[in-house]
Amino acid sequence: LEENNIINNITEIRPFLGAKFSPLENYILLTQTIYEGGDITSLYDIKNKKKVEGIYGTTALEFTPDEKYLISCAYGRNFPMAKIYKTEGFNETYNLFGNIIGEGETQFYNGYRIKHCNWNNNTNRVRFYLENLRNPAESKELFYDIKNETLIK
Question: Strand 105-106 to strand 112-120: parallel, antiparallel, or no bridges (unpaired)?
Answer: unpaired
Residue 1's pLDDT is 44
Per-residue tens of pLDDT for the chain, all 153 residues: 444 444 445 444 556 677 889 999 999 888 877 766 667 788 889 888 888 887 766 667 889 999 999 888 876 555 567 888 888 888 888 888 775 444 444 445 567 778 888 888 888 899 888 888 788 898 888 889 988 888 887
Residue 22's pLDDT is 92
Residue 14's pLDDT is 57
Residue 33's pLDDT is 74
